[in-house]
Amino acid sequence: MSFRGFYQHRYTHLKVRYDMPIKSERKCFAFGGANLWAWLVMVMLLVFVSCGKRQDSEEGLAIFKYNESAGILTLDPIYAKDLPHIWACNQVFNSLVAFDDKMNLVPMVAKSWDISDDGLTYTFHLRDDVQFHHDTCFYQSAIRQAQGPSQHEEAKVVELVETPTNNARFVTAQDFVYSFNRVVDKSLSSPGLWIFSSVKHDDDHYAFTALDDTTFQIELAKPFPPFLGILSMTYASVVPHEAVEYYGDDFRSHPVGTGPFKFQYWKENVKLVFRKNPDYFERDEAGERLPYIDAVSVSFLIDKQVAFLEFIKGKFDFMSGIDARYKDELLTYDGNLRKKYEDKIELITEPYLNTEYFSFFIDPNDELGPERAKALRQAVSLCIDREKMLRYLRNGIGEPGTGGMIPVGLPGHSSTIGYGYDLKRAQRLVAENHLEGYLLQLSTVADYADIGKFVQSQVEQIGMQCKMEVMPPATMRSMRSNGSLPFFRSSWVADYPDAENYLSLFVSSNFAPSGPNYCHYTNPKYDKLFDKALLCNDLEQRAAYYTEMDSLMMQDAPVVVLFYDEVLRFVNKRVKDMGSNPTNLLDLRRVKIID
């Protein structure tokens, strides 16, 4: 515990007079000789006793524990760009709307909303009972307001005690204006800036408006039906300006939100703790306030093998996904949990909005010419036995990628528009287009080297050569952005549950490095269908457009879809009602722990 933390904790309720000059305040600490040493010893003893009591107080609490091997760099939601950061921030913050486990859009801080007939204006009606977490930043803000606007005025006597009524406050529409403006503030370099690209704006202003305390409005430059779902993302969380102003750069390590848990403690790369928010606004069907558990504890063991052993010992309650080093220890070859763990662990699986694939870079100056290059891409897609690959390399986890880019579970998915295993047809394409002996350069990362080797062997059986290079992820990201890789490993997880996520990867205007079209695929008909789909508010018709686009793109075969992933959750049996969802979000609001 720091001195500042100790001092604030012990003297929170003292009345403070602010008519003393600064020099007089400093004299209060000008002890001398033995008095100073006595005072320091007293402080250290009190800190030791206080910290000991805090540790003991954890006994008997329901604490959900998990490990995050990838680490966490910040708890500021505008930087939550991947699952480790999203999982942590999701405990502390809320957005206007959210998706439930069935991917239905549900109210969160917004209790309802209206969308104008032209699809340009979104008006949100906010709850009036959502409080920010209790934090001293609100107390400090109240002091500044009480002191007045100027330091040059005669000093005021302020008698202010920090209490539950002045170290928290309710959320208003202006808080969303502030929070969203942080996301689009280019000086903050949020990776979530893109989520508001469809919002009407000029160089100085985005169309975020607080009509009153409980009414918030957003204007779009053009209709964009997936926009409502985008607002569920962690980037769009509401934060209080008082906390950002008071903590400054340290807001990353002292977050203040509205979520089911509030920040308690973080020793970076060692442990992160959230405590139950006793004022959280959501209740269950019986009227009991959520969440049920008392705390969340996150550890940061880098070695996944060590973390796995700790999970087996019961030190952690949850593990997501599975590493190749211990998959056979936990799972049978058909993907079921081994019997020796059935009394300790529950396995939860469901389709994951994640498509795993290899991409071709379509070079307009390819020496093969457009037709032969297309035949090569089709032959590679046809020669891969995806069922065999999943059975032997992934213990049956996932669905074979015989459809397009849109994964299982999203409107627009079709399992018949892609490429099944057809070795004879692949060999015929190679022969007809004189591709025998052609050398294909495959680039992948270490975690997917086994899949890369499998694809390599499949390509060689149709008469072509395949050379595989394993490179660091950062190197691959850089090289694929500048078009230096002819054939490379790719993966896309939905940012929000709409197929537009996946189909935007192939729009001509999204060429890398300025966009995510790493293939440099271009098709005017595809682009027109994409624009038409974005103007369509009818969900069934838009899904039909999506399927047509996916089918059109797959005929040109810029990608080799390998499989559609599955969410895999291993849960200690003391944990009840864990649940799961296709985006693999960690939602602990309704989790219970029974020892």
Per-residue pLDDT of the chain (595 residues; tens, 9 = 90+): 443 343 333 333 333 333 333 333 333 333 344 454 445 545 454 444 444 433 334 668 999 999 999 899 999 999 998 899 999 999 999 999 999 998 889 999 999 999 999 999 999 999 999 999 999 999 888 888 777 655 444 444 445 556 666 678 999 999 999 999 999 999 999 989 989 999 999 988 999 999 999 999 999 999 998 999 999 999 999 999 999 999 999 999 999 999 999 999 999 999 999 999 999 999 999 999 999 999 999 999 999 999 999 999 999 999 999 888 899 999 998 899 999 999 999 999 999 999 999 999 999 999 999 999 999 999 999 999 999 999 999 999 999 999 999 999 899 999 999 999 999 999 999 999 999 999 999 999 998 999 999 999 999 999 999 999 999 988 998 999 899 999 999 999 888 889 999 999 999 999 998 888 999 999 999 999 999 998 888 889 999 999 999 999 999 999 999 999 999 999 999 999 999 999 999 999 999 999 7
Task: Indicate if 291 and 147 belong to the same structural domain.
Answer: no
What CATH number does the domain containing 366 carry?
3.10.105.10
Residues 411 and 545 in one domain: yes
Query: Are 480 and 391 in the same domain?
Result: yes
Classify residue 69: in a domain, yes or no.
no
| Single residue among 57, 83, 102 that ends a domain in this structure | 57
Amino acid at 361: F
Contact call for residues 402 and 436 (beta carbons, < 8 A):
no
Distance (Å, rounded) from C-alpha 243 to C-alpha 239?
A: 8
Structural domain harbouring 587: 261-350+568-593
Nearest to 377 by CA among 561, 587, 155: 561
Boundary (domain end) residue, out of 251, 273, 300: 251
> What are the residues whose beta carbons fall under 8 Å from the beta carbon of 107, sequence distance 6 or more?
97, 98
Q: 474 and 546 share a domain?
A: yes
Whether residues 425 and 514 fall in one domain = yes
pLDDT given at position 162: 61
Pair 333, 382 in one domain? no
pTM of this structure: 0.81
**Do 548 and 532 contact (CB within 8 A), yes or no?**
no
* Residues 400, 563 contacting (CB under 8 angstroms): yes
State the Rg of the chain over Cα.
28
Dist. CA 199–CA 218, nearest whole Å: 7
The alpha carbon of residue 201 and the mean position of all alpha carbons in its chain are separated, in whole angstroms, by 26
pLDDT of residue 390: 95
pLDDT for the residue numbered 164: 61
Residue 68 resides in a domain: no
Q: How far is Cα 274 from Cα 294, in angstroms, rounded to an integer?
A: 9
Query: Do 108 and 182 fall into the same domain?
Result: yes
Please identify which residue in the block is written with the tokens 């079709």. Answer: 414
Q: Residues 196, 212: one domain?
A: yes
State the total domains in the chain: 4
Amino acid at 177: V
On whether the CB atoms of residues 163 and 146 are closer than 8 A, the answer is no
121 and 232 in a single domain? The answer is yes
Supply 306's token pair.
């060590």
CA angle 552-553-555, nearest 5°?
70
Dig out the tokens for 81 from the structure: 């760009």
Lookup: tokens for 337: 């949990």
Q: Reading across the β-sheet that carries 121-126, which strands appear in turn?
A: 110-115, 121-126, 215-219, 208-212
Q: Calculate helix-pair angle for 539-556, 524-534, nearest 10 degrees.
A: 160
